Structure 1
Amino acid sequence: MAEQYQSREERRKQLEKQKQSNKKKGKKPAKGLFMKIFLILVALGITGIVVGAATFAYMIKDTPELDETLLKDPISSQVFDMNGEPFTEIGSVKRDYVNYEDIPETVRDAFIATEDSRFFEHNGIDLIRLGGAVIANVTDGFGSEGASTITQQVVKNSFLTHEKTLSRKAQEAWLSFQLEQKYTKEEIFEIYVNKNWMGSGGHGVATAAKTYYGKSLDQLTLDEAALLAGLPQSPANYDPFKYPENAKKRRDIVLSLMNQHGYISEEEKVDAQSVDVSAALVPEDQRETNGEIAYDSFVGQVIKEIEEKYPDLDPFSEGLKIYTTLDTSAQDYVEQILDGNEIVEFPDEKFQAGITLLDTKTGAIRALGGGRNQTQTFGFNYATDPRRQPGSTIKPVLDYGPAIEYLNWGTYQTLVDEPYTYSSGQEINNWDNKHMGSMTMRTALALSRNIPALKAMQEVGLDKSKEFGAKLGIPVSELTESYSIGGLGGADKGVSSLQMAGAYSAFGNNGFYTEPYSVVTIELRDGTKLDLKPETEVVMKDYTAFMITDMLKDVLTYGTGSRARVDGLAVAGKTGTTNYPTAERDKYGIPKGAVPDSWFVGYTTNYTAAVWTGYDDRTQNWLTSDEQKISQYIFKNLMTHVSQGKETADFAVPSSVEKVRIEKGTFPAKLASEYTPNDQVIIEYAVKGSAPKQVSNKYDKPAAPSNLKVTLDEATKELLVTWEYSGDNAEGVQFQLYGSLNDGGEQLLKTTTEKQVRLKAETPGYYTFKVIAVRDTQLSEAVTTTIEVLIPQEEEEQEVEEEETENEEGTDEETTETGETGGNSNNGNTGTGTGNGNTGTGTGNTGNTSNQGSGNN
């Protein structure tokens, strides 16, 4: 057993030695594999470097040369009108240049902290900043975050386009490296602060300091230097003249960055952030312009669109060719209206107006009137800058348009103008504080009734109303019921004429909306073309667009906008005024009937125009009843001018719409019947398949009376005629009773609402009676009955003797008969009588209830 155990133990040890030996042998292949992998990686690295270098060389092969003239001076851009003709240049303006040694330390620190905190440490490219940007671009998409140094920004603004491509970034890096080799950091910084566009402040930090603050650079405070340093990122949006709130937010960010990088203390940051941005700005009436620019109200919109869509492009320094939608003839006429009194007479110099003219089909801006008697280039634009509440011009957008779109209302939809409140219980009134009762949606819109408009919004629902408005370029943050009549509040402080024109153009373009635009294409210096024309979208059904349009045409025919009517032109449009709250009216002594704003928005198939009028200070100046019409006069003259010599088609009826005959006064609306009088029928439009189904029976042929009976009362010799009536609609029904005796003519005996009549029956014979039901002008079928009346013989003989005696007396020459009645009708006898020079003749037919006679003197 011991031997067996020993032999087993030896075998175990021998096996373990063999395993260890195998492991040692296996390590040699592992070392060989590692070496192979290492060599492959080295080869790949070398290949990558070569390929990368080749790729980089390829991408920078077309890099432009460093041109000192392009580094120093901005290149003006040309602006072209709708026909491709140049009409102005922007960027060729006076500039105050400042040398590096004259730039105060505070100004330098503000720019470096904001734009490139490691400016004096890198060689044109900040690899640390670039690493962070690369990660952001991988996770969020290429172009999501930039890593441009001040050097790169100088290169980009001087030589390259602003497209975010790898090729352009490679060229930018190569040129930045070259620039750092050729120029000192101080020279590069000097180029940068003198070249930047600074919004209304012009080019360069020195020019901006003078324009915004009326100071030289060495006089700027910390908060002012920070504001200027924040402008280059987006000069239009952070312009303190136009957008002080945006400018403050940007300034405070710059101050935080200065504190973060150690340039200022926490206390200095807080103190500077507390300063009012507008306090030190040059007063508006003392501001200098940076050169005259033709049609600056329009060009200002051009610049805004470029900066919104291509924020890296600077139209003032990059030598762009900007092709726009401007109609110079229309623009000239708009400026002629606003700057004089020949076309439209204004009450005073403070009266302001904003005008937008669009191409209805394309949304292209043809002209903009930014205000009256403006002296500041790119000053406040009353046409494009949101400012005032829209009043009743909002009703097609938020009330009736959604009701047609989502509820399939027709133009006949009946609404009741009556005392009413908002859902909150607050009372709502019409502009005239009156109520007109039941009316169609068409009438309510034409006469601008507020209560029907609110009811329409309530019916369709606030969410749908908000959705519809947003699709037409009128987004609101939180829609309330007061918005139904244009009472925008909260964050929605108002709308611009540009927005209103855009919304209405969709009604005139069969439901297609294009965001209003002024720039078609931009051509860069290298020939690259950028398309800025927005996409056209379907925002409503064609029947909604048509029915709103057809109703708005009535605004100019019998509604509130008759002064805007252009003879011979199919025009649709809407008036709008806003009101003063009672507290404001009482506080400032504003007279009753005065309003702060007056609008008119309208369109043809060719053009859409929106006009706002009012005053800057609504508490000191207001519009009287006559001045409220000026917006209509402006619209009328402008639309007349631009439509001359152009064919203007009427608005086509789409196949989704059908005409319906509605009976006036029906509530809810009912179809007119074949018996409805023409003067009680109105022709309206319905969404095909959604027209009213019920036909009015108000004017239908009435049902015929029934159970007509005649009975004789022997004692009184009276006939009692009775009948019954059970028509479906007995309201307003009267009855006509006709009678005849024997073969005599039929006579109308009585018209009554009763269903019985008593008549004398003194003459024997056959009495025939007929009854007809009558409602207005409609007659029922007739029902008839006959009765024979008999009189005893002795009574007949006595009647004959009495008649003979009467006839003998009638021939006496000494009679005092006047002859005014020529004869009596009895039993078929005829008689004549004379007396006192008067003669009379008479004929009588048995049973005839009327006498005929003549008398001569």
Structure 2
Amino acid sequence: MANNSQSRTARRKQKKAKKKPLWKKILLIMLLIFIIMGIGAGATAAYWIATAPEIDESKLSDPLASQVLDMNGEVFGTLGEEKRTKISYEDLPQVLIDAVTATEDARFFEHSGIDLRRIGGAILANFKNGFGSEGASTITQQVVEKSFLSAEKKISLKVQEQWLALKLEREYSKEEILEMYLNKIFYGNGAYGVAKAAEIYFGKEDLSELTLPEAAILAGLPQRPTAYNPYENPDLTKERMDTVLTLMVRHGKISQEEADEARAVDIPSLLTGESDSSVPYRAFLKQVQREVNEKVDGADIYTDGLKIHTTLDTSIQDHVEFLLTDSEENPIPYPDDEMQAGMTVLDTKNGAIRAIGGSRNGNGTGYNYAIQGGQQPGSTMKPIVAYGPAIEYNKMSTYHQINDDKPFDYGGSSPIRNWNRSYAGWMTARHALNQSLNVPAVKTLEEVGYDQAQGFAESLGINFADDTVRIGDAIGGTGTNVNPLQMAGAYRAFGNEGLYNEPYAVTSVEFPDGRTVELKPKAEAVMSDYTAYMITDMLKSVITDGTGTAANVPGVPVAGKTGTTSLPDESGSPDSWFTGYSTNYTISVWTGGYTNDEGQRMAIPNGQTKIPHALFSNTMAEISQGIDNPDFEKPDSVVEVEVEEGSRPAARPSEYTPSSQIVTELFVKGTEPTETSEKFDELDPVSGLSASYNEDNNSIEVGWDYEEDADVSFEVSAQIDDGQMQGLSNTEETSMEITEVEPGADYTIQVVAVSNDGDMQSEAATTSVTVPGGDEEEEAENIPAVSGLSAQYNQENSLIDVSWSYNGPPAAFEVSVNGQTQTVESNGIEISGATPGETYEIVVTPIGQNGANEGAEGQSQSTSITVPAEDGGDSGDTGEGSDEDSEEGSSEGQGDEENDGDNSGDGGDQEDNTEDENDNGNGEGDNQGDGE
């Protein structure tokens, strides 16, 4: 048993000893994996090498020309066929060879086509920053790439490039390869090859005449020929030249003293001023090149034989270039030769760039103000940063009330002021925007919030300085700069139901091998359709009623916004903008560019800030001819509502609101006002208005009745014969005396009750009286009948109240009640002790009292009333008067008194709930002007 036990234990120890450690297993597995990967990589590399193109000598000399097509598929430019002068190695001066090799390939004359030291450094950089972040291409590899391969950053292409570089070095000498390189590469400004570049930039046909600064500039250009173009970007050219000189010193090609001397040269002084004009529409092509470089990896529009489909409308581009080039036919009233301008025309429906005007008198070869850099946008930012976000997130209406009461103190060095230094109190958002007032804009930004405003603006392609929205961004007065391309792209979304995509000039790129890359961006809904439409409607009023009237385009519905900036010393505006759109096109225009000797910005002279308005209007009118120009269509999410002007919050007008106090504004559906304003509810008219002539003092005594506790006064007016109604007095009494009246004249007297807060008034009550002294016989025949004869039963006091009105010469009244007659001088009587169930017939006849009228009787008027029986029934009926005599008498007796009996009930149930806060109204009318 013991032996067996020892044997088993020994066997277990033996087996345990035979087991390998875990780390050895892992190491073995990893080694196998590396071997397999190496075999796979080798096989893959072998496949890539086997499928690499052959070295074709015909392709080593010239690059392939690219074709550029317009929106209709017509070729308008061929790139790569012009501006070429070939040279041989013997023509190259040593200073140029040193500059090129120090910059592009310091060990060019030592390696065999690939530089292993550079490859090692590039591998480390690519591990840190991603594949393609740093290249290790030698001059030989660059020749191979530009001749046979695509510039895409793919490992397969890089392997093929290195393999072909080794082959090229075996077949050609270093001198021949360098010659190929310098004849092939693009130097910008339409120049292919170093010889043509030296001629275009420096006017030198003999390369031996090149100086060190000129050689350094030429050596630096191929990396970014457009960006480093000394005609367009001398500052960037200077930086690149400094880099080349530094590399030449580092590699022992020149001394530090020589480099410093070269750096002191003024680059513009070296240039000849010759520019490339062989290809049209250079300003547009600059955007084409930018998009291809950014979106198609490694592609070069000048050397890769591409077919580039663009959005260019050549007719629009021609007109834009015409307006930006001085000529006797140019209708734009530029103030001088110094003003610069940039403009962009987009298709509103899809964002396609139809034309680009890069600069004034620049032929598209200088700095492109339309797409490069940017300027302060001024008030063109207000819809983007303030009002647009407020509608989108707060569902603000176009009627929204903002108090423009004073400068806005935000805690900065000075408060924000309106451009006109005027403050008009409460006003609508529409009015504040179309008058381009600053205080309402910054208050709106505060209401909606900075984060929401920033997100909204960034979705429209606006990039803020320091990635932060500041209070001044609401009025475009911070470090945030934009160019016309960006601004047109942002505004286009307002005109296209809130859909945005980055403006684009290239729709697709075809390569010589048949491969096609689609570049048209997809649209994205960045705002609600109600926001887009309501901003558009507000911007239409900028052109009809605001600061942009000079940009109006007859027959074309357009919306748009003005914008100017100001200098710190408030000496004027260095920038002026107009950006606007129709349903077909969107146009953004900038003008400015004035600087002093120190390079500091200066104001546009003589306040000539309306040139962008003229460029917009002329261009939009021209390109809109012969096409349908529909208005913007209101979406279902927006409702038009009539609002009583000045109401806060918004209220619908009442039936008494004057038409002049009613405005139509836009609301997001579901937020429109439901309350009705009581501001203009009508007061009850006066009652019992009467007037009589007082012979003793030759005056007319007027009296009326009104509720004792009413806080009203009375406007009394009079009309003499057929004259105009003239105001006589405003009184809180219920009577007045009109003195020194004209004999024989007919007076019509009007009384209107007016609330003492000025918000309401009643309908007018009128009465008439004739002053004696005219033709006695005519006056004797002119005793009119009473009017408005009525009888009402007062059950509480058991009496009948009879009343009437009279407009005529002084008279007494004979009153007959069921045959019993009495004469009174008042306009009414009370019949007491009325018997229930009995009917009373009442007849009233006026009888003249003065002069020839004395004793003359007028027509009789009658009415009847039945007293209710005691066992119930109606509380009393109001009798209606009837004529008892001729039709002629009836006509004379009624006269103008119909209003006396008809107005007493109007508005009687309305409550007086007006508020004093409406006194300021909208503040409109005081801010007329063109500034912003």
Place the TM-score, normalised by the shorter chain, in its bin: 0.7 to 0.9
1:82 Cα deviation from its structure 2 partner: 0.6
1:269 Cα deviation from its structure 2 partner: 8.8
Q: TM-score, normalization: structure 2?
A: 0.70
Which of 665, 668, 675 pairs up with 2:646? 665
Amino acid aligned to 2:560: G
Q: Show the counterpart of 2:556.
A: 569
> Aligned with 2:520: secondary structure?
coil
Alpha-carbon distance between aligned partners in 1 of 2:851 and 2:705, rounded to the nearest angstrom: 37
Pair 1:207 & 2:207 matched: no
Given that residues 334 and 368 in structure 1 are in contact (C-alpha distance below 8 angstroms), is that contact kept between their aligned partners in structure 2? yes
Which of 184, 194, 198 pairs up with 1:195? 184
Alpha-carbon distance between aligned partners in 2 of 1:544 and 1:687, rounded to the nearest angstrom: 8
Given that residues 125 and 173 in structure 1 are in contact (C-alpha distance below 8 angstroms), is that contact kept between their aligned partners in structure 2? yes
Given that residues 722 and 757 in structure 1 are in contact (C-alpha distance below 8 angstroms), is that contact kept between their aligned partners in structure 2? no
1:148 Cα deviation from its structure 2 partner: 2.1
Given that residues 703 and 773 in structure 1 are in contact (C-alpha distance below 8 angstroms), is that contact kept between their aligned partners in structure 2? yes
1:551 Cα deviation from its structure 2 partner: 0.5
1:412 Cα deviation from its structure 2 partner: 0.5
Which of 134, 150, 154 pairs up with 1:161? 150
Moved more, 209-218 or 678-687: 209-218
Alignment deviations for residues 118-142 of structure 1 (CA, whole Å, 9 cap, x no partner): 4334332334433444455456444
> Aligned with 1:637: secondary structure?
helix
Alpha-carbon distance between aligned partners in 2 of 1:441 and 1:752, rounded to the nearest angstrom: 38
TM alignment of 1:123-142, pairs within 5 A? 123-137=112-126, 140-142=129-131
Q: Show the counterpart of 2:463.
A: 475
Q: Show the counterpart of 1:374.
A: 362
Amino acid aligned to 2:632: F
Q: Show the counterpart of 2:225.
A: 235
Amino acid aligned to 2:228: Y
1:63 Cα deviation from its structure 2 partner: 3.0
Q: Show the counterpart of 2:488.
A: 501
Alpha-carbon distance between aligned partners in 2 of 1:350 and 1:311, rounded to the nearest angstrom: 39
- Cα 1:561–1:25 change in 2 (3 A) is closer
In structure 1, stretches of 5+ residues that fail to align are 1-7, 586-593, 707-717, 738-749, 760-770, 783-809, 811-815, 853-857
Q: Show the counterpart of 1:318.
A: 304
1:335 Cα deviation from its structure 2 partner: 2.3
Given that residues 597 and 623 in structure 1 are in contact (C-alpha distance below 8 angstroms), is that contact kept between their aligned partners in structure 2? no
1:623 Cα deviation from its structure 2 partner: 4.4
- Cα 1:818–1:435 change in 2 (3 A) is same
Q: Show the counterpart of 1:401.
A: 388
Pair 1:599 & 2:588 matched: no
Q: Show the counterpart of 2:447.
A: 459
Q: Show the counterpart of 1:622.
A: 604
> Aligned with 2:617: secondary structure?
helix
1:693 Cα deviation from its structure 2 partner: 5.8
- Cα 1:25–1:597 change in 2 (3 A) is closer
> Aligned with 1:109: secondary structure?
helix
Given that residues 822 and 840 in structure 1 are in contact (C-alpha distance below 8 angstroms), is that contact kept between their aligned partners in structure 2? no
- Cα 1:615–1:174 change in 2 (3 A) is closer
Alpha-carbon distance between aligned partners in 1 of 2:859 and 2:32, rounded to the nearest angstrom: 138
Q: Show the counterpart of 2:665.
A: 684
Which of 300, 303, 307 pairs up with 2:286? 300
Q: Show the counterpart of 1:767.
A: none
Alpha-carbon distance between aligned partners in 2 of 1:241 and 1:458, rounded to the nearest angstrom: 44
Given that residues 833 and 841 in structure 1 are in contact (C-alpha distance below 8 angstroms), is that contact kept between their aligned partners in structure 2? no
Given that residues 679 and 759 in structure 2 are in contact (C-alpha distance below 8 angstroms), is that contact kept between their aligned partners in structure 1? no
Given that residues 232 and 365 in structure 2 are in contact (C-alpha distance below 8 angstroms), is that contact kept between their aligned partners in structure 1? no
- Cα 1:456–1:217 change in 2 (3 A) is farther
> Aligned with 1:659: secondary structure?
strand
- Aligned CA-pair RMSD: 4.6
Given that residues 684 and 763 in structure 2 are in contact (C-alpha distance below 8 angstroms), is that contact kept between their aligned partners in structure 1? yes
Q: Show the counterpart of 1:613.
A: 591
Q: Show the counterpart of 2:810.
A: 825
Alignment deviations for residues 826-851 of structure 1 (CA, whole Å, 9 cap, x no partner): 434336856xxxx999667999xxx9
1:736 Cα deviation from its structure 2 partner: 9.3
Given that residues 594 and 604 in structure 2 are in contact (C-alpha distance below 8 angstroms), is that contact kept between their aligned partners in structure 1? no
Which of 356, 359, 363 pairs up with 2:351? 363
Alpha-carbon distance between aligned partners in 2 of 1:93 and 1:148, rounded to the nearest angstrom: 27
TM alignment of 1:441-840, pairs within 5 A? 441-478=429-466, 479-489=469-479, 492=480, 494-582=481-569, 585=571, 595-614=573-592, 616-617=594-595, 622-624=604-606, 627-692=608-673, 695-701=676-682, 723-725=707-709, 733-734=712-713, 754=732, 819=776, 822=779, 825-827=810-812, 828-830=846-848, 833=851
Q: Show the counterpart of 2:331.
A: 344
Alpha-carbon distance between aligned partners in 2 of 1:131 and 1:233, rounded to the nearest angstrom: 21
Amino acid aligned to 2:164: L
Alignment deviations for residues 659-700 of structure 1 (CA, whole Å, 9 cap, x no partner): 232211234543333442333111111223334465432023
Given that residues 829 and 844 in structure 1 are in contact (C-alpha distance below 8 angstroms), is that contact kept between their aligned partners in structure 2? yes
Given that residues 213 and 281 in structure 1 are in contact (C-alpha distance below 8 angstroms), is that contact kept between their aligned partners in structure 2? no
> Aligned with 2:465: secondary structure?
coil
1:609 Cα deviation from its structure 2 partner: 0.8
Q: Show the counterpart of 1:803.
A: none
Alignment deviations for residues 688-741 of structure 1 (CA, whole Å, 9 cap, x no partner): 3334465432023558999xxxxxxxxxxx999774547xxx6xx55699xxxx
Moved more, 816-825 or 646-655: 816-825
Alpha-carbon distance between aligned partners in 2 of 1:700 and 1:519, rounded to the nearest angstrom: 63
TM alignment of 1:84-103, pairs within 5 A? 84-103=73-92
Alpha-carbon distance between aligned partners in 1 of 2:531 and 2:30, rounded to the nearest angstrom: 69
Amino acid aligned to 1:496: N
Given that residues 80 and 324 in structure 1 are in contact (C-alpha distance below 8 angstroms), is that contact kept between their aligned partners in structure 2? yes
- Cα 1:342–1:418 change in 2 (3 A) is farther
1:106 Cα deviation from its structure 2 partner: 4.1
Alignment deviations for residues 61-83 of structure 1 (CA, whole Å, 9 cap, x no partner): 54332222321122221110011
1:296 Cα deviation from its structure 2 partner: 1.4
Given that residues 596 and 615 in structure 1 are in contact (C-alpha distance below 8 angstroms), is that contact kept between their aligned partners in structure 2? yes
- Cα 1:664–1:174 change in 2 (3 A) is same
Alpha-carbon distance between aligned partners in 2 of 1:481 and 1:606, rounded to the nearest angstrom: 33
Aligned length: 745
Alignment deviations for residues 41-89 of structure 1 (CA, whole Å, 9 cap, x no partner): 79995x7676545433433454332222321122221110011110111
Alignment deviations for residues 151-203 of structure 1 (CA, whole Å, 9 cap, x no partner): 21111111111222233223323322221211122221222233221223722
Amino acid aligned to 1:314: D
Amino acid aligned to 1:328: T
> Aligned with 1:598: secondary structure?
strand
Given that residues 249 and 259 in structure 2 are in contact (C-alpha distance below 8 angstroms), is that contact kept between their aligned partners in structure 1? no
Amino acid aligned to 1:677: P
Given that residues 412 and 685 in structure 1 are in contact (C-alpha distance below 8 angstroms), is that contact kept between their aligned partners in structure 2? yes
> Aligned with 1:152: secondary structure?
helix
Alpha-carbon distance between aligned partners in 2 of 1:418 and 1:655, rounded to the nearest angstrom: 35
Amino acid aligned to 1:445: L
Alpha-carbon distance between aligned partners in 2 of 1:670 and 1:283, rounded to the nearest angstrom: 71
Given that residues 344 and 630 in structure 1 are in contact (C-alpha distance below 8 angstroms), is that contact kept between their aligned partners in structure 2? no
Which of 423, 447, 462 pairs up with 1:435? 423
Q: TM-score, normalization: structure 1?
A: 0.76
Calculate percent identity across the aligned residue pairs: 46
Alpha-carbon distance between aligned partners in 2 of 1:21 and 1:662, rounded to the nearest angstrom: 99
Q: Show the counterpart of 2:166.
A: 177
- Cα 1:114–1:422 change in 2 (3 A) is farther
- Cα 1:453–1:116 change in 2 (3 A) is same
- Cα 1:562–1:41 change in 2 (3 A) is closer
Greater fraction helix: 1
> Aligned with 1:829: secondary structure?
strand
> Aligned with 1:199: secondary structure?
coil
- Cα 1:680–1:177 change in 2 (3 A) is same
